[in-house]
A and B are shown apart, each in its own frame.
Chain A
Amino acid sequence: MESATKIEPDKQRVQDMFAIAEQRDQVALARLFDHYAPKIRSFCLAAQPGANLMADDIAQEVMIRIWNKAHTYKPEAASLNTWVFTIARNARIDYLRKNSRYQSDIDPEYLWQNIIDENSDPFQDAQQKRDQQMIQQSLKKLPVDQRQVLSKVYLEGKTHKEAAEELSLPLGTIKSRVRLALQKLTIYVKR
């Protein structure tokens, strides 16, 4: 009986988001912190190994943004994980552009703000869910070498070129691994 009343963790987190948006519920925020802060730190440490202060700083920054932007989260437009990932990605870019050798005055806020949630209709929402499941399932079956390259790009923040140099492989090999992987995940279809 207990399992029937137990709510799935993913759904619980979406409810926590509503509680934050509507009631400014700090207990719900604490639960999200416990789940996401370690992931955000790992995501940062993947790009800058050993940079614990940076990881702590970005983890806090992302959680603050979640608190401040909670009312803009729409579950039908993106899963919570995707939403948090994009915030973490942008916060990491923002930190690196201000604090590293890749200094830049281009504000990332202008570059990723308009993509999500503009055209939401029931048909597209359903399609979105299917895409999500498809990606989730096929990712599990991906060969190690393909997954490794995806991790380099997404988690370590390396470009294809940099990934090639680091793995001592020709750029063409990296490209074809990524393309193969994206084909299996049905993200990439040859035009």
Chain B
Amino acid sequence: MTHYHPSIETLTDYAAGALPLSHSLCVSTHLEHCPECQQQVKKLEMLGAQLFEQNRMPPQELRHLKDQFFARLEQQDTSADTSLTTKTVERIEDNGYQIPKSLRQFITKGYDDLTWMHLSPSFKIATLHNEEGGAQIALTRVKAGAHMPTHTHTGDEITLVLEGAFSDETGIYRQGDFISRDARHKHKPIVTKDAECICLTVLDAPIEFTGWFTRLLNPILRRYHPHTSL
């Protein structure tokens, strides 16, 4: 049961297709855990369909387009593979973990097969993808009971708990929880003692460590996040 959900604005932008894809990735992963938000998105899509259907438009002459379309269809249907099957993605299991469907584009085997960069003995990070627009999509993996160094964000950050749980000054976050933080936020998360914690994070700009020693990590992280100019 998840307790932290995307805001209604975020769900609306997602259902409308207006949300950046990097953020949609987090919403989609949340939906896999949250029937409540699934229902809401369904209704938001119904609304979209109404607006789509009622959209007033000038009269259009589409005879030519229609001919073109049927010619294209002909071509498709005579080519060797008509492939009526749509892309279906099954969940895969990895040491008892289930990789969300939404992440299967980036994780084809399991969490262990990713390239992890150790930032401390108990904390590592694997970059899944860097968007051309600058967003970084990554997984963080923290050992049970460990804490992440204090950090602030230079941009907005979305965190989605995939496995385990962590807490900070404002609450405790469990599987499926969706946490959105803006640039002003400074926090120090601690992972619960029972299990390691794996999170999906989407950063619009890299995090900055503010601790005395861990500040040394900043240039390294920036190197792994090449799209920002700091």
Q: Chain A interface (Cβ within 8 Å of chain B)?
A: 26, 29-30, 33-34, 37-39, 41-43, 46, 56, 59-60, 63-64, 67-69, 71-72, 78-79, 81-82, 84-86, 88-90, 92-93, 97, 102-116, 119, 128, 131-132, 135-136, 139, 150-151, 153-155, 157-160, 162, 175, 178-179, 182, 185, 187-188, 191
C-beta contact mask, B69-100 vs A, less than 8 Å → 1, else 0? 11011001000001110111100000000000
C-beta contact mask, B12-31 vs A, less than 8 Å → 1, else 0? 11001111111011011001
Task: Supply 25 A–B pairs (Cβ within 8 Å), ascending by A.
Answer: A29-B73, A30-B66, A30-B70, A34-B66, A38-B62, A67-B73, A68-B86, A81-B50, A82-B45, A90-B17, A97-B21, A105-B129, A105-B131, A106-B22, A106-B105, A106-B137, A112-B28, A115-B41, A131-B42, A131-B43, A139-B54, A153-B13, A158-B18, A187-B40, A187-B47
**How far is B137's CA from A110's CA once the two chains are assembled, in angstroms?**
15
Closest 7 CB pairs of A and B: A42-B57, A85-B49, A106-B21, A82-B49, A89-B17, A111-B28, A81-B49
- Known contacts A33-B69, A110-B102, A115-B31: does B51 contact A150 (CB below 8 Å)? yes
Closest chain A CB from B34 CB (angstroms): 11
**How far is B35's CA from A175's CA once the two chains are assembled, in angstroms?**
24
User: Please, which residues of chain B bring their CB within 8 A of the CB of A46?
Assistant: 55
Closest chain B CB from A84 CB (angstroms): 8
Nearest residue (CB) in B for A81 is B49
**How far is B20's CA from A105's CA once the two chains are assembled, in angstroms?**
12
**How far is B70's CA from A30's CA once the two chains are assembled, in angstroms?**
9
Closest chain B CB from A18 CB (angstroms): 15
**How far is B82's CA from A160's CA once the two chains are assembled, in angstroms?**
40
Cβ–Cβ contact A26 & B70, under 8 A: yes
The majority secondary structure among interface residues of chain B is: helix
Closest chain A CB from B125 CB (angstroms): 19
User: Please, which residues of chain B bring their CB within 8 A of the CB of A188?
Assistant: 8, 40
**How far is B25's CA from A31's CA once the two chains are assembled, in angstroms?**
35
Cβ–Cβ contact B18 & A88, under 8 A: no
Closest chain B CB from A29 CB (angstroms): 8
Cβ–Cβ contact A71 & B105, under 8 A: no
Q: Does B133 contact A (CB under 8 A)?
A: yes
- Known contacts A33-B69, A60-B68, A110-B101: does B47 contact A139 (CB below 8 Å)? yes
Nearest residue (CB) in A for B133 is A102
